[in-house]
Structures are given as C-alpha cells and as structure tokens.
Homo-oligomer: A and B are copies of this chain.
Amino acid sequence: MRTHLDCLPCLLNQALKAARAATADEELHRHALNAVAAIIPELPMDMKPPEIAQQCYRLVYEVIGDNDPFRGAKDAANRAALGVYPKLKQIVAGSEDPLLTACKLAIAGNSIDLGPGFDYGSMDDIVGTAVRSPLAVDRYAQFAADVKTARGILYLGDNAGETVFDRVLIEELRRAGDAAIMFVVRDRPVINDATLDDALVAGIDDVAEVVSSGSDAPATILSQCSTALLELYHAADVIVSKGQGNYESLSEEPENIYFFLRAKCELVAELLGVAVGDAVLERGRAAD
C-alpha cells in the first residue's frame, strides 16, 4: 500500500501521542511535533506508510530521550490480556468451531493498538466485540483448509497484549494440523508493538518458535528483515499477518498471506471495502 497525503497529518497526531506517553512536559511534546513537521516536506510518498511511521517514531524517540514510551502501556495491556486468557480459552472450547472463534478473537485482539487514533476500550469490550461481530471480510474457509495441510506457518505478530490472543489462536492452529509455527516479533520497540519480551510474557514460546523480524519497523518491511526471517517467510505455506502495519507492508506480496486485522483508518478501510473498526480476515490478492 502506498502512502497517501492523509497519512502525513496522522503522523503528527502519532508523534504527539508518543511524546505524551513518555512525559508530561509540554515543551517536549511541542519539540516532538515540530521535529516531525519539519521532515514532512521531505518524506517520499513512494514509501509504504509504516516505513514513514518508522522514521517519525525514531525521530520522536530521539527528541524525547525515550526509546520505549509505550512500555507502561504495553505492560498494562499484557497484564489485562493475561487476565482474560482463561475466559478466551473457555469461549473457544465452548464454541461450535473453535478455530473460527480463535480467529475472531485474534482479530479482536488487534484492537490493542496505540498508533492511529482508536480507543480500544477494555479487554471485556474486545472479547464481547469478537463474539458478537461478524467478519466484514471473511476468508476463513480457505484459511482453515490451508492450515490443515500446511507444514510451516509464519505468524507475524503485531501488538503487546494482542500476543495473548495470538497464543489462543496458535493453540488452535496446533490442534488443526501439524505445521511448525514461527511467531515473529519486532526487533526493537516501536509504538506498542510486541517485542521478544511481550511474546515471552504471553507464553508464546510454549506454543511456537519466537523469532525477530530484524527491524524496528511497525510492520514487515521485507527489505529490512533479517536473512533468517526472509528464509522462513519464503518457506512458509501459510503466513498469518496481524494488524494494519503488516497489511500496509505486505498487501501486494505474492505469498499465501492471510491478513487478520481491525481496520483503523479510512484509507485502509476503503482499500479493504469495509468500515473503520470492522474485523477483517482477508487473503492476499496475489495468492488467489
């Protein structure tokens, strides 16, 4: 997905939010905002939105002198999500199609995003939404068929806390087939994206092999990924891509990718043919 001009004001909002997460000092908030405003005229529009976001977050973190302003928010999300883990397992176990229910929960878990303006409410809200709402794009049947025969599944994580919902889905994926499952985290902190520690807190290492993307992009920018990650990416039979950033970076790639996300801005919603907030289980167009 290419960057749109509408992404640029959104970056300023994100810079402000990140600065406010780090400090109450309004002067620093203004410095962070000014720093991003100053590079806007130079940002190339042929980059993907998360590549541009990566540049802005690096700059903001430098200005505010904090390379992980959302650490507190991530810890809180991990704790809250672990608190509902037994409930998630119960909902999945009691449902007619446990894999489908786990997919819907994993998509609902993608609400835990502090990038674009989006208030995700409580964990109970998230679980309630997952159970009640239909998928606005629903490629579940094909996904369920593919995971049954897959030998390797690459699962691209997104946010901290969401990782607990991911664990529930991975547990169902292990029931559904025999695939080796690799779970990918960001190499270094960016926004509230899951890094290695967030995967470990959620217990992902008990159910999958955890690997780093090799990059601090809030997405999967292939040109920035480690060789090891690229090998796994190309060898996988099925790729589970969580969240909007991974979608923005991989929507045009030819692999057998399934995008699990909640649409968080007008542009992405329009591209997917859904409304902002909708739950989406889409398949890469190139794979069809």
Binding site for B on A (CB under 8 A): 5-6, 8-10, 12-13, 16, 26, 29-30, 33-34, 37-38, 40-41, 45
Decide: B40 and A34 in contact? CB cutoff 8 A. yes
Least Cβ–Cβ distance between A61 and chain B, in angstroms? 18
Decide: B34 and A41 in contact? CB cutoff 8 A. yes
Least Cβ–Cβ distance between A135 and chain B, in angstroms? 26
**Which 9 A-B pairs give the minimum distances between C-beta atoms?**
A9-B12, A37-B40, A34-B41, A9-B13, A37-B37, A9-B9, A5-B29, A5-B16, A37-B41
Decide: A33 and B16 in contact? CB cutoff 8 A. no
Q: Chain B residues near A29: list those with CB within 8 A.
A: 5
Least Cβ–Cβ distance between A81 and chain B, in angstroms? 27
What CA separation (Å) do A41 and B41 show in the bound complex? 13
Decide: A16 and B9 in contact? CB cutoff 8 A. yes
Decide: A16 and B6 in contact? CB cutoff 8 A. yes
Decide: A26 and B9 in contact? CB cutoff 8 A. no
What CA separation (Å) do A13 and B13 show in the bound complex? 11
What CA separation (Å) do A61 and B172 show in the bound complex? 57
What CA separation (Å) do A9 and B7 show in the bound complex? 11
* Most central of A8, A30, A37 by chain B CB within 10 Å: A37
Q: Chain B residues near A40: list those with CB within 8 A.
A: 12, 33-34, 37
Q: Chain B residues near A45: list those with CB within 8 A.
A: 30
Least Cβ–Cβ distance between A233 and chain B, in angstroms? 33
What CA separation (Å) do A117 and B29 show in the bound complex? 23
Least Cβ–Cβ distance between A32 and chain B, in angstroms? 9
Decide: A26 and B38 in contact? CB cutoff 8 A. no
Q: Chain B residues near A34: list those with CB within 8 A.
A: 40-41
What CA separation (Å) do A33 and B43 show in the bound complex? 12
What CA separation (Å) do A8 and B8 show in the bound complex? 12
Contact partner, A30, options B5, B12, B26, Cβ 8 Å:
B5
